[in-house]
C-alpha cells in the first residue's frame, strides 16, 4: 500500500506541487486578498531566518505587522532580521532564540512570551528532516521532537494568549508528503525497523494535520489551518533531500511561491471565512488523503496521539 501511495503522490506532485502547478493555480488568485494593512497585529513565525519562514516574515513586515522571529541560530536570525527591517522599513521585528527540538526551551519561551506580549497569529513553520536517527538531550528522536512535540507545546502553550486577541489564527506548515503516511501511534519516535528520515518527516507532517483538525474542534475562537507549500527550492530541501533537489531543479517553486498560501492563511480576510481545521494547497482546501490509500486513522488512534503528546509536554514543563 505504501508503494501505491508513493507512486500516486509523486504523479500528483509533478502535476500540482511544482512551479508550473503553482502558476496554473495562481491564475485564479485574487491579488486583493493580500492587500491588507497589518499594523497593530502581532505574528510569530518559527524557523524565520531562511526559506519559507523568512519570506513570510518579510511579507508580514512589508504590510506593517509586528513580527516575532523564533529561530535557533542567533547570528543567522540577526542577519535575517536586519535584512527584513531594511527592506520593509519596519522596526517592529524581534528575534527570539529557541531550539524547537527542546521541549523545555519551548515551554519556557512560550510562558515568558505570553506574559509580556500580544499574539494574533502563530505560524508553525520550523521543521527538520534528519536522515540519521538522532536523539535530543531530552532523549527524544529529533524529527519528532522538532516537528511534532515542539509544535504541540508551542501551540497549546500560546492558546490562552491567542484567545485574548482579536481574530486569532494558527497556521501550520505541513507537507504534501504526509499523504504517503497513515498515522502510526505505536512508533512515534521511529524506533522500529530501519530508520528513514523522509518517512519520519512525512509521519510528523501527518501528525500536524491531525493536530490542526483536533485543535479546531476544541478551540472554536481560533482559526486553525495546515497547508502544503508545494515543492519549493529552499535551503532545507537542498540540505535534507539533495538527490531530489538535483533531480527536480528547474521544476521547483520559488520560496515566494511556497510562502504564498502561508501568508494568505495568516492575513487574508478570505482565509478567515474558510472553516477552521482544513488543509490547504495554493489557497484552496484540499483532501487530506489520496484516493483508495487506506491512510485514515481511527478516532482512538488520534486520541492516543494527543494523550502521548500531552504526557510528554507535562513531563518537560518547567
Cβ atoms within 10 Å, residue 94: 14
Q: What is the mean pLDDT of residues 80-107?
A: 98
In this prediction, what percent of the chain has a pLDDT beyond 70?
100
What region, left, alpha or beta, does residue 130 occupy, with left being phi > 0 and alpha being psi -120 to 50 degrees? beta
Residue 241 predicted with pLDDT over 90:
no
Rounded Cα distance between 203 and 19, Å, is 25
Nearest CA-CA partner of 148 in 112, 187, 115: 187
Beta strands 223-228 and 278-281, pairing class: parallel
- Annotated catalytic sites, by residue? 201
Look at residue 2 in the predicted model and tell me its pLDDT.
79
Residue with cell 500531552: 310
Look at residue 4 in the predicted model and tell me its pLDDT.
84
Q: What is the mean pLDDT of residues 244-267?
A: 91
Residue 237 predicted with pLDDT over 90:
no
Rounded Cα distance between 150 and 172, Å, is 12
Residue 236 predicted with pLDDT over 80:
no
Longest CA–CA span in the chain (Å) reads 52
The three-point CA angle 148-151-152 to 5° equals 80
Residue 87 predicted with pLDDT over 70:
yes
Residue 239 pLDDT level (bands cut at 50, 70, 90): confident
Q: Which residue has the higher pLDDT, 234 or 290?
A: 290
Residue 229 predicted with pLDDT over 80:
yes
Tens digit of each residue's pLDDT (9 = 90 or more) over 46-64: 999 999 999 999 999 999 9
Residue 83 predicted with pLDDT over 90:
yes
| Cα torsion angle, 59, 60, 63, 67, sign | negative
Residue 245 predicted with pLDDT over 80:
no
SS3 content of the chain, % helix, strand, coil (to 5): 55, 15, 35
Q: All domains of the chain, ordered by start, with CATH?
A: 3-315 (3.40.50.720)
Q: What is the mean pLDDT of residues 312-318?
A: 97
Computed over every residue of the chain, the mean pLDDT equals 95
Cβ atoms within 10 Å, residue 84: 23
Q: Which three cell numbers stand for residue 111?
A: 510562558
Q: What is the mean pLDDT of residues 12-36?
A: 96
Q: Which three cell numbers stand for residue 37?
A: 494593512
Residue 238 predicted with pLDDT over 90:
no
Q: What is the mean pLDDT of residues 165-187?
A: 97
Residue with cell 515543492: 231
Nearest CA-CA partner of 201 in 287, 291, 141, 254: 141
Residue 191 predicted with pLDDT over 80:
yes
DSSP letter string, 72-96: S-HHHHHHHHHHHHHHH----EEEE
Q: What is the mean pLDDT of residues 127-138?
A: 95
Residue 275 pLDDT level (bands cut at 50, 70, 90): very high
- Which DSSP category does 253 fall into? B
Look at residue 1 in the predicted model and tell me its pLDDT.
55
Amino acid at each position: 500500500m505504501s508503494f501505491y501511495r508513493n507512486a500516486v503522490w509523486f504523479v500528483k506532485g509533478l502535476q500540482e506541487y511544482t512551479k508550473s502547478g503553482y502558476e496554473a493555480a495562481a491564475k485564479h488568485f485574487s491579488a486583493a486578498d493580500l492587500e491588507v494593512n497589518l499594523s497593530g497585529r502581532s505574528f510569530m513565525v518559527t524557523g524565520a531566518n531562511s526559506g519559507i519562514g523568512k519570506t513570510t516574515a518579510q511579507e508580514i513586515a512589508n504590510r506593517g505587522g509586528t513580527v516575532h522571529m523564533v529561530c535557533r541560530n542567533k547570528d543567522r536570525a540577526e542577519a535575517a532580521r536586519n535584512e527584513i527591517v531594511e527592506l520593509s522599513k519596519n522596526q517592529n521585528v524581534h528575534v527570539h532564540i529557541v531550539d524547537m527540538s527542546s521541549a523545555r526551551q519551548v515551554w519556557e519561551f512560550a510562558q515568558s512570551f505570553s506574559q509580556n506580549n500580544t499574539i494574533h497569529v502563530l505560524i508553525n513553520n520550523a521543521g527538520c528532516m534528519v536522515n540519521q536517527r538522532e536523539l535530543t538531550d531530552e532523549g527524544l528522536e529529533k524529527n519528532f521532537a522538532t516537528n511534532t512535540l515542539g509544535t504541540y507545546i508551542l501551540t497549546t502553550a500560546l492558546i490562552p494568549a491567542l484567545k485574548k486577541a482579536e481574530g486569532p489564527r494558527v497556521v501550520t506548515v505541513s507537507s504534501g508528503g504526509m499523504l504517503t503516511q497513515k498515522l502510526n501511534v505505536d512508533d512515534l519516535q521511529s524506533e522500529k525497523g530501519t530508520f528513514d528520515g523522509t518517512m519520519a518527516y512525512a509521519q510528523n507532517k501527518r501528525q500536524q494535520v491531525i493536530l490542526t483538525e483536533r485543535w479546531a474542534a476544541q478551540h472554536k475562537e481560533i482559526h486553525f489551518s495546515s497547508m502544503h507549500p508545494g515543492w519549493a527550492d529552499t535551503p532545507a530541501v537542498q540540505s535534507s533531500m539533495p538527490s531530489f533537489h538535483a533531480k527536480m531543479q528547474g521544476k521547483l517553486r520559488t520560496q515566494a511561491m511556497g510562502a504564498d498560501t502561508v501568508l494568505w492563511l495568516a492575513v487574508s480576510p478570505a482565509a478567515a471565512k474558510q472553516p477552521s481545521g482544513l488543509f490547504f494547497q495554493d489557497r484552496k482546501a484540499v483532501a487530506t488523503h489520496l484516493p483508495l490509500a487506506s491512510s485514515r486513522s481511527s478516532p482512538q488512534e488520534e486520541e492516543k496521539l494527543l494523550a502521548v503528546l500531552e504526557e510528554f509536554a507535562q513531563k518537560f514543563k518547567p
